[in-house]
Chain A
Amino acid sequence: MKTAIDELLEKPHKGNLVYTAKDFKPNIDVRWCAGCGAISVLSPSQRLMPDLGIPKERIVYVSGIGCSGRFPYYMDTYGFHSIHGRALGIATGLKIARPDLSVWVVTGDGDNMSIGGNHFIHACRRNVDLNIMMFNNEVYSLTKGQYSPTSHRGQITKSSPLGALDDPFNPVSLALGAGATFVARGHDKDRTQLQQLLKRAHDHKGVSFVEIYTNCRIFNDGAFDLYTNAETRDDHTIFLEHGKPLIFGKTKNKGIILDGYTPKVVNLDQGEHSISDLLIHNEKDSTLAFILANMTYSEDLPRPMGVLQAIHRAPYEERVVNQIQNEIKTKGEGDLQSLLAGDTNWLVIAV
């Protein structure tokens, strides 16, 4: 059952497949504020594209509303700037209809955790092969500074002048709880690391969720300084690497052990603990992923960065195709005329 789309897509790619980052920069001014964290995600994205080895016409960026929503305009690929919270709905339909595409979703903490929260949890459980980049700046910026679902309790914003009363979502825990197969966290001050994480997200078959701390200079400046600035980040974050012990600190002198199910910081300089005591990261271990994700808001523990979980489950769009193919294999390709005829019909003959 070949359609016009199948035929058009069978045409071989004519142009050169060797790209540079420049090939993904459209001739348009970037209108984010100077120093915006989102800009720091744009260049790793443009640099990543040539590494993917896919024709650029097969790449689509879909966004919702918010500062992050502008992202597709700055990538010279196909793009869809949709409506508030609904990028995942659109991306889901697109990927199911067109499994050949590399589909990226660009969203924010308001877009994805608030108005689009329902679509987010269902995208996670459904495991459509989408790469979700969530720019988390812990504030609504495009509406000029209200607290968001990731703002911390007590945060002073224009709509919480006396402090926000809500507790925040922990996005990576939410993603894990909803069944996401790939969950990672990066930030805007380490573009190389970010590019690596985005590459991992792309390579993962199934839904990939990458939470990206992006500083908003205007409405929430410095929100992530502790975790992203060169002077403090080594002591306040831990970069997770598969199969490696959880070690951190400027001098790599601290590590994480598990006390029961509770992670604890130990000092490796004092002779009491050595590297061999430390927890070893395993991306395939879902239980561990929950434990690590829950370190996020603990004041005593470093904030986990990197890939928390990468497990395999068949992507949804693949299951859709398989179901169709199995049905055709067992029953044969459907004959439209007999579908119209239905189970019961009768002949009226001319009298």
Chain B
Amino acid sequence: MTKILEHLEEATIRFAGDSGDGMQLAGTQFSETSGFAGNEVNTFPDYPSEIRAPEGTLYGVSAFQVHFGTHNIHTSGDFIDVLIAMNASSLKVNLANLKKGGIIIANTEGFDTRNLTLAKYKSNPLEDGTLKDYEVHTLDITKELKVALKDVEVSSKLIDKTRNIFALGITYWLFHRPMEPTVNWINKKFKGKDDVVLANIHALRAGWNYAEKDAHFQRQYVVDRSPLPPGRYRNITGNEATALGLVVAARKANLPLFLGSYPITPATDILHAISGYKKYGVKHLQAEDEIAGICSAIGAAFGGSLAATTTSGPGLSLKTEAMGLAVMTELPLIVVDVQRAGPSTGIPTKTEQGDLLMGMFSRHGEAPMPILAASGSADCFDITLEAARIALKYMTPVLILSDGYIGQASEPWKIPSVNSLPEIKAYFTTDPSNFAPYKRDEETLRRQWAVPGFEGMEHRIGGLEKEDGSGNVSSDSLNHEKMVCLRQEKIERIANDIPELVVEGAQDGDLLLLSWGSTFGAAKTAFERLKAKDTPVSFANLRYMNPFPKNLGEILNRFQRVVIPELNMGQLKLLIQAKYLKPVIGISKIQGKPFKSVEIEEKLEGLLTQKEIII
């Protein structure tokens, strides 16, 4: 039978099923293979807080979305082209995001009476006309697997476990993807378990063959390779990139790495990764609580390690007092906050940008510290190296804001050569005759650093106010004011040492779209779409949240209106309005989900038709 081959610029596929259906695995494999096939890729794992929510329920749906294409893939996709629905609930919760005319591949096993009831469907949507606007493919995967694997000796339990791989096989046919990367992965992952390897490889091919033979699958899609810069690539999540960034930063600084951390969603993957890096000489402590996590890191920093602590919102709340201690003792420290939906426990697995103001102001007293925001999964690597550079050069704790979205989402990353990455310098004082713990470098205001073991420089530091220079305890009023100003000035001077903000599009004019952190992807896509329509919008993305780039104020003044989309109630908006007295139009979204680029695009188009300044 002749099938039609169609070329696409981009596509979004979403694997959805029960928490135990292996959707995360299928989605990860699809994204790895798409990267291998030369596409730009951006993913979004979307799963419930419950480990194994009751089967078939609406709140138990686990999904993995992959957006892939030839050009400009900055988000995990606004709307879905292809939905794999392993049961009725996964169809129900995702249907609203499926494009009209989109493809649904439904496993009919998940649409029996029980599943329909759990999904609160009164009748079967596969049969009652609900899906008339879509291209629907229904099949009983277990039945198909049993037929396809009848000559292979595998247990029915194993067949159950390969349903996701069968579905993956169908999608590989649909998008004309190579099967080798997944076959290689199966061989490696299940090495020594021959029956598991056999079952999975057969299931993958069976899925492909099913679509190839089935008369309803008439169209295959091809998404061409991207013109990516040459080099070796891999897919990487933000959390993986942060972990690698810490290890590489320590190596580049020629310091031992110490991570003090406590398990918390969605930051724990960083701890998982680092704990596996023993052969790189990395030390880590899974502490008894968040406070001990950061305090152990402060202790290690005092001893001369590049020290870090990783956490998410509630953990950051607990660490704030110790962060103030790191500010006061002026020790280098990296604090990573993978933000999640708050307040309090909030929605642990969902994303938000609600911690910017906490990063700025949560510590008692005047306790400034630099804040960097990663703008994507791969950027978590670069931002971590930058945090280490600043921490060591200015002797200060640095806060990195990542979030649940970029922390867990993945995108292709051009693997850097360790040797060609710039060195990071640790500034130790080795001459006792010239040593005083709070004597400062003239340019950076960095205090001197001598660690235990350095002879003749024994000294005491702590949370009490210090006398300028000597570091002796002092409650002198004028000295206190001076020290507060020095600590503030030190952080402000970092602005001289970071790249200026770059504006894309016209350098002045009516509208500037300003993103920060993970909002970058959706904002950048919105900007590119508007640019393609010749809409006069300019775009910039902030990675340095404190201090801001030196030219930010001047840039803001070149535009009549500034628009900031944020996954919060307007925290950057507040900071910018306060600092630059520049009115800002905020776009807030607080739904535990990243922005769709269309949400920003439509808002900007609306603003362009109404010229007045709206605040």
A 69-90 to B, binary, CB cutoff 8 A, 1 in contact else 0 = 1001100111111110010111
| B303 at interface by CB-CB < 8 Å | yes
- Neighbouring A residues of B463 by C-beta, 8 Å: 65, 81-83
Q: What separation, in Å, do the CA atoms of A288 and B536 have in the docked complex?
A: 82
- Neighbouring A residues of B288 by C-beta, 8 Å: 118-119, 121-122
Of the residues B322, B325, B418, B430, contact of A336 by C-beta under 8 Å: B418
B 431-445 to A, binary, CB cutoff 8 A, 1 in contact else 0 = 000000000000000
| B55 at interface by CB-CB < 8 Å | no
Q: Which residues 83-112 in A have Cβ within 8 Å of B in the complex?
A: 83, 86, 88-98, 100-101
Check B461 against A79 for contact (C-beta < 8 Å). yes
Q: Which residues 298-351 in A have Cβ within 8 Å of B in the complex?
A: 320, 323-324, 327-328, 331-334, 336-337, 339-351
Check A323 against B302 for contact (C-beta < 8 Å). no
Check B303 against A98 for contact (C-beta < 8 Å). yes
Q: Which residues 292-321 in B have Cβ within 8 Å of A in the complex?
A: 292, 294-305, 307, 321
Of the residues B285, B428, B458, B462, contact of A56 by C-beta under 8 Å: B458
| B134 at interface by CB-CB < 8 Å | no
- Neighbouring B residues of A346 by C-beta, 8 Å: 35-36, 38, 232-234
Name 17 extra pairs, CB < 8 A, besides A4-B426, A63-B462, A96-B300: A5-B256, A5-B453, A57-B456, A58-B453, A69-B462, A90-B295, A92-B296, A93-B299, A93-B307, A97-B258, A97-B300, A97-B303, A97-B304, A328-B278, A340-B244, A346-B38, A348-B231
| A165 at interface by CB-CB < 8 Å | no
Given contacts A3-B255, A336-B418, contact A82 B285 (CB under 8 A): no
Q: Which of B141-149, B246-254, B340-348, B504-512 contacts A (4 or more CB under 8 A)?
A: B246-254
Closest chain A residue, CB of each to CB of B453:
A9
| Chain B, interface SS category | mixed
Report the tally of A-B residue pairs with Cβ distances under 8 A.
242
Q: What separation, in Å, do the CA atoms of A57 and B235 have in the docked complex?
A: 46
| A162 at interface by CB-CB < 8 Å | no
Closest chain B residue, CB of each to CB of A343:
B188
Closest chain A residue, CB of each to CB of B29:
A344
Given contacts A92-B296, A339-B280, contact A8 B428 (CB under 8 A): yes
Q: Which residues 182-231 in A have Cβ within 8 Å of B in the complex?
A: none
Check B278 against A323 for contact (C-beta < 8 Å). yes
| A139 at interface by CB-CB < 8 Å | no
| A132 at interface by CB-CB < 8 Å | no
Q: What separation, in Å, do the CA atoms of A349 and B414 have in the docked complex?
A: 12
Of the residues A28, A69, A82, A341, contact of B295 by C-beta under 8 Å: A82
> Within the complex, what minimum Cβ distance (angstroms) separates B305 from chain A?
5
| A153 at interface by CB-CB < 8 Å | no
- Neighbouring B residues of A122 by C-beta, 8 Å: 287-288, 292
Q: What separation, in Å, do the CA atoms of A299 and B596 have in the docked complex?
A: 72
Q: Which of B76-84, B90-98, B222-230, B349-357 contacts A (4 or more CB under 8 A)?
A: B222-230
Closest chain A residue, CB of each to CB of B419:
A337
| B560 at interface by CB-CB < 8 Å | no
Q: What separation, in Å, do the CA atoms of A13 and B458 have in the docked complex?
A: 13
Check B279 against A91 for contact (C-beta < 8 Å). no
Check B458 against A57 for contact (C-beta < 8 Å). yes
Check A336 against B230 for contact (C-beta < 8 Å). no
Of the residues B185, B292, B415, B451, contact of A92 by C-beta under 8 Å: B292
21 A-B Cβ contacts within 8 A? A4-B304, A5-B305, A5-B451, A8-B428, A15-B456, A57-B458, A86-B291, A86-B322, A89-B292, A93-B295, A95-B299, A96-B296, A98-B453, A100-B453, A119-B291, A327-B278, A327-B279, A334-B281, A336-B247, A340-B244, A343-B188
Q: What separation, in Å, do the CA atoms of A324 and B283 have in the docked complex?
A: 8
Q: What separation, in Å, do the CA atoms of A98 and B454 have in the docked complex?
A: 13
Q: What separation, in Å, do the CA atoms of A96 and B299 have in the docked complex?
A: 9
| B417 at interface by CB-CB < 8 Å | yes
> Within the complex, what minimum Cβ distance (angstroms) separates B297 from chain A?
6
- Neighbouring B residues of A9 by C-beta, 8 Å: 453
Chain A CB count within 10 A is highest, among B233, B235, B281, B287, for B281
- Neighbouring A residues of B234 by C-beta, 8 Å: 341-342, 344-346
Of the residues A65, A97, A100, A350, contact of B305 by C-beta under 8 Å: A97
Check A55 against B455 for contact (C-beta < 8 Å). yes
Closest chain B residue, CB of each to CB of A24:
B458
Check B181 against A337 for contact (C-beta < 8 Å). no
> Within the complex, what minimum Cβ distance (angstroms) separates A132 from chain B?
14
Closest chain B residue, CB of each to CB of A345:
B234
Check B256 against A3 for contact (C-beta < 8 Å). yes
> Within the complex, what minimum Cβ distance (angstroms) separates A310 from chain B?
24
Of the residues B230, B250, B417, B460, contact of A79 by C-beta under 8 Å: B460
Of the residues B231, B280, B294, contact of A1 by C-beta under 8 Å: B280
- Neighbouring A residues of B453 by C-beta, 8 Å: 5, 8-9, 57-58, 98, 100-101
> Within the complex, what minimum Cβ distance (angstroms) separates B167 from chain A?
20
| A256 at interface by CB-CB < 8 Å | no
Check B297 against A14 for contact (C-beta < 8 Å). no
Given contacts A89-B287, A90-B296, A94-B303, contact A80 B460 (CB under 8 A): yes
- Neighbouring A residues of B294 by C-beta, 8 Å: 89
> Within the complex, what minimum Cβ distance (angstroms) separates B412 from chain A?
9
Q: What separation, in Å, do the CA atoms of A339 and B248 have in the docked complex?
A: 10
Check B455 against A13 for contact (C-beta < 8 Å). yes
> Within the complex, what minimum Cβ distance (angstroms) separates A29 from chain B?
11
| B8 at interface by CB-CB < 8 Å | no
Closest chain A residue, CB of each to CB of B416:
A340
